[in-house]
Amino acid sequence: MANNTKNHVRTNGRQIFLQQFLKHPLQVGSIIPSSRFLERRIIEAASADTARVIVELGPGTGGTTRALLNVMPRDACLLSIELNNFFYNMINQIDDDRLIPHLGSACDIQAILAEHDLDAPDAVISGIPFSTMSREMGTQIIESVSSALAPQGRFVAYQTRDRVATLCRPIMGSGQTVMEFFNIPPTRIFHWQKKINGEAHQPQVM
């Protein structure tokens, strides 16, 4: 019964994701949710199992959100920031007291953290499509991420294109990239780690 329920959630999530992609192609980064293989890569890159505060940008239907909650410490907190009202309502239905859904923009991370009285995040995870937004908007989001991160905090962006690497390079350095082929479409996982002095360095290859 449990497997049937999970399969139903995934199937329903795919349908909803496609509908929202067709309605808002510039906001939604893919036509279907992330695979469990991609979710595993994201969790490892973010060190989610030891993080105390995680910010998720663009949680979509909540597949990655649930995967993060499954491995996060009991006293950790996950702030999920979603611009799409339909997806926000879906995230708001997840029953976990560690989750804080927020309807708003990724440009306002620090203000949103302050609104919810949260410390600087140990990880910021982004599924929003940097390839479909303007350079100005992308740069603003990355600057917001870099400013908000705790020292040695991690920024993880999973993307089908490499635009985020170009935008991040002058702000957070070159970082690291790994490809997950067991996802539709195959997706790159980009990973940066913030130094104690506020700069970023290349983390170890995963």
User: Is there a domain that residue 14 lies in?
Assistant: no
| pLDDT tens digits, one per residue of 154-179 | 999 999 999 999 999 999 999 999 99
CATH number of the domain within which 69 lies: 3.40.50.150
pLDDT tens figures, 99-121: 999 999 999 999 999 999 999 99
**For residue 111, is it within any domain?**
yes
Domain that holds residue 152: 35-201
Number of domains in the chain: 1
Report helix angle 36-46 to 63-71, nearest 10.
Answer: 50
For residue 119, give every residue at least 6 positions away whose Cβ sits within 8 Å of its Cβ, in sequence order, or none: 52, 53, 113, 150
What pLDDT shows up at residue 199? Answer: 56
Residue 81 lies in a domain: yes
In a domain, 98, yes or no: yes
Q: Is residue 17 part of a domain?
A: no
Residue 27 has pLDDT above 70, yes or no: no
Q: How many CB atoms lie within 10 A of CB 188?
A: 18
Q: Is residue 153 part of a domain?
A: yes
The residue among 54, 86, 82, 83 whose CA lies nearest residue 70 is: 54
* Contact yes or no for 65/9 (Cβ under 8 A): no
Task: Answer whether residue 159 is part of any domain.
Answer: yes
CA distance 44 to 156: 10
Q: Residue 123's pLDDT is what? A: 98
Worst-scoring range by mean pLDDT, 9-23, 34-48, 57-71, 115-129?
Answer: 9-23
Continuous H helices in the chain: 2-23, 36-46, 63-71, 85-91, 109-115, 135-148, 163-172
pLDDT-based confidence at residue 1 (cuts at 50, 70, 90): very low
Tokens of 53: 């505060």
